Chains A and B, each alone.
Chain A
Amino acid sequence: MFKAFLIKYAEIGIKGKNRYLFEEALVNQIRYSLEKVEGTFRVIREQGRIYVFTEGYFDYEETVQALKCVFGISGICPVVVVEDKGFEDLADQVVAYVKHMYPEFNKTFKVHARRAKKTYPMNSMELNCELGGRILDECPGMKVDVHQPEIHLTVEVRQKIYIYSETIPGPGGMPVGTNGSAMLLLSGGIDSPVAGYMIAKRGVKLEAVYFHAPPYTSERAKQKVVDLARLVARYSGPVRLHVVNFTDIQLYIYEKCPHDELTIIMRRYMMKIAEQFAGEDGASALITGESIGQVASQTMQSLACTNEVCKMPVFRPLIGFDKQEIVDIALKINTYETSILPYEDCCTIFVAKHPVTKPNLNIIKRSEQNLQEKIDEMIQTAIDTAETIEIVY
């Protein structure tokens, strides 16, 4: 029944002179997202609106699902497309539409006609009245309410005629790529993919880095992170993932530093390495899944210590979230099931029984003095030997 979709976007609409850039980015993202859907699609921008036209057979459910993953879309209206064969035929089509969509006939409605084709023999007001009248006649129980209708039935007259009334909510946000790119520290846990999703939603392209610690973490743990990156890429577009071998650095810290400071010091070096990759990839911020107080390394003092090594801004979109709120988003974006697979990640290998929860930056820095001899060289080696994987959904 539906042959096209009208794409509504909220935030881009209020941009000024750059608006066309945002719209173009959105069109590109829609095309990227529809590439994997069965069907032939034309994505068209005209008069400040974006339409997705279909040709021949297409999978309606899959198309809607794909559009729901495109940041920048606030709503998706499935559209019925009919040929222009005169008013009588149009009225029949509109009535058929109402009968199909609202068979109960218990709604208030308003017809909103738009005449893009000005040669049409009736003007918009006439169309409103005539069509509304026909619906009232043929669908007993339907009532007109021009101020707050439950159904806003739009009829657009162009080369063909478009009828739509329902809006499926989109994800909101802004088209990926319109706000630069950032480097996500991806761990394989529940939080980091959600953090990536939330920043991507604001139009930021994602790069990612994962710290692998064989033989303490398994090949399956790495595969899990690759899988998570792929799930995030469904929303964010392609992700470049750097897999860094972190074992030697971790063991070195373990040997030279107090064990209760291990996690903090380790995280400081992770941030350092992530920032280097970000610089190389032209990303201008880091993203982590940290949330205040969730674990010892995410207390206020620990965050301050971790943050101190970075010059770039560090985005922590989950900072004020409870675990359950994070889990809810993970379930929604389909990363939860993968995240909870029980493989060790590098943060859990050498966890001290009582890690320090209120680290003092000066003490931490003093501990790091013990690493002076080899650490820079080790960091360089880790960066040089990192494996880079291009991940697409």
Chain B
Amino acid sequence: MEAYLDNAATTCCYEEVKDLMVRTMMVDYGNPSAMHMKGVEAERYCKEATQTLAKLMKVQESEIYFTSGGTESNNWALLGTALANRRQGNHIITTAIEHSAVSAPLAFLEEQGCKVTKLGVDGEGRISMEELEKAITDDTILVSVMYVNNEIGSVQDIAAIGELIKRKNRNTSFHVDATQAFGKYRILPRKMGIDLMSASAHKFHGPKGAGFLYIGEKTKVHPMIMGGGQQRGMRSGTDNVPGVAGLSKAAEITYRNLEQNQAHLFDLKQHLTEELRKLPDVVIHGMPVEEGAPHIVNASFLGVRSEVLLHTLEERQIYVSAGSACSSHRRAGSATLTAIGCNQAERESALRFSFSERTTLDEVNYTLEVLKEVLPALRRYTRH
């Protein structure tokens, strides 16, 4: 039996997505910028994709920009906002548990003279609204908060944060990294006070190398990739027709069964956490099951190093992710686990299990069986 429990890293493509993408590469392969029929045909895919996404999120078509994925969307949102608002202020607020696609560009902006405030989180990975309120000043141009944390699945109250920001400073933009959330929740950016939102296709059964950034019409962002003026001059480069078409098809299918899938994921999560709690020396991180994201479980198996357990499971065709790739030479523990107050023993033994709609209860049970079998043996051999 194979159990792929690393869906937060990437997911398998939908069959329909693959078929559509093949068609855009083999039949309707024109350049959307071309004037002839071949170009018009190709352009139709992008138009339809924009319409699809706009409907799903209840936003305007002109507010959607396609990118190469989550990393580019995040970089563009942060750097582009900083560039466009240099005169308004230079203060940006973020959290201590962001993905590096947010924290790295912010570190760069800090080098360039921006002030960055990192909000801490509590033991479950939640930011404090009081702290956020205190942090927002007249100088604050942007608040960037991830919707679902990729490591422990903690969820922020995005609507409340959006409302708070607008109440405190109407000119502050709100960026949400929704890479792990899009397709898991029905997100309505306008209703939630979101000005910028990043997403990535391969997290919801679309292709790798495709994503989008929602930019609210009143939000000032400078383009980062300049050239031929595609996408209203905001993001140049020949339209990635296969990627864009694949992304929108994947979004459409994901949204079709969103509620059922969500319930299914919560069932799996509930079951796995319940069973893990019965095992000795297991610590489960993040929020209570129903408050956290439906598809992510993070647990430490004290006394067994993440990497060793990961490879042991891999030998039985079970694929999971280690809290962070760490080695005997470089103890670069996960920033998220540190932020929620994990000690070194917990950080070194953390594994992430993440599901998709395709994950079955049998796969989870098989994983639990194998865990029960291998943990005692692995714990016999630990470093001294």
Residues of A within 8 A of B (CB): 214-219, 251, 254-255, 259, 342-344, 348-353
CB pair A215 B327 closer than 8 Å: no
Is B312 at the interface (CB under 8 A from chain A)? yes
**CB proximity to A under 8 Å, residues B304-354:** 307-312, 314-315, 325, 327-330
Say if the beta carbon of B384 comes within 8 Å of chain A.
Answer: yes
B314 touches A352 (CB 8 A): no
Which of A215, A259, A353 contacts B308 (CB under 8 A)? A215
A342 to B325: give the CA distance in the assembly, Å: 9
Verify A342–B315 contact, CB threshold 8 A: no
Asked if A352 contacts B384 (CB within 8 A), the reply is yes
Closest chain A residue, CB of each to CB of B329: A342
> Is the Cβ of A215 less than 8 Å from the Cβ of B383?
no
How many A-B contacts at CB < 8 Å in the complex? Answer: 40
Complex partner residue of A218 from B307, B328, B330, B383, CB under 8 angstroms: B307
CA distance A363 to B325 in the complex (A): 38
| B344 CB, nearest partner CB in chain A, Å | 15
> Taking A342-B327, A342-B329, A342-B330 as contacts, is the C-beta distance between A350 and B311 under 8 angstroms?
no
Q: How far is the CA of A352 from the CA of B382 in the complex (A)?
A: 10
**A219 / chain B contacts, CB cutoff of 8 Å:** 311
- The chain A residue sitting closest to B310, CB to CB, is A215
Majority secondary structure of chain A interface residues (helix, strand, loop or mixed): loop
B308–A351 CB distance below 8 A: no
Give the docked Cα–Cα distance between A259 and B307 (Å): 22
Q: Are A215 and B315 neighbours in the complex by a CB distance under 8 Å? A: yes
Q: Which residue of B lies closest to A260 (CB)?
A: B384
Query: B384 and A215: CB pair below 8 A?
Result: no
- Complex CA gap A52/B51 in Å reads 65
In the complex, are the beta carbons of B384 and A259 less than 8 A apart? yes
A32 to chain B minimum Cβ distance, whole angstroms, is 36
Q: What are 22 A-B interface contacts by the 8 Å CB criterion?
A: A214-B315, A215-B309, A215-B311, A215-B312, A215-B314, A215-B315, A217-B311, A254-B381, A259-B384, A342-B325, A342-B327, A342-B329, A343-B327, A344-B328, A348-B328, A349-B308, A349-B328, A349-B383, A350-B381, A351-B328, A352-B384, A353-B383
User: How many Å lie between the Cα of A259 and that of B325 in the bound state?
Assistant: 26
Given known contacts A342-B330, A348-B328, is B383 in contact with A216 (CB within 8 Å)?
Answer: no
In the complex formed, the residue of B with least CB distance to A340 is: B329
CA–CA, A254 to B308, complex, Å? 16
Task: Return chain B residues, CB-CB under 8 Å to A342.
Answer: 325, 327, 329-330
CB distance from A266 to the nearest CB of B (A): 13
Distance in Å: Cβ of A161 to nearest Cβ of chain B:
54
A179, B324: Cα distance in complex, Å = 47
Docked pose: A219 CA to B312 CA in angstroms: 12
Cβ distance B331 to chain A, nearest Cβ, rounded Å:
10
Q: Which residues of B contact A251 (CB under 8 A)?
A: 381
A364 to chain B, nearest CB (A): 18
Partner of B383, one of A214, A217, A255, A350: A350
* Nearest chain A residue, comparing its CB with the CB of B377: A251
In the complex, what's the smallest C-beta–C-beta distance from B307 to chain A, in angstroms? 7
Q: How far is the CB of B82 from chain A (nearest CB, A)?
A: 33
Assembled-state Cα–Cα distance A350/B327 (Å):
13
Assess whether B311 is in contact with A216, with CB atoms less than 8 Å apart. yes
- Assuming A344-B327, A344-B328, is B384 touching A218 (CB within 8 A)? no
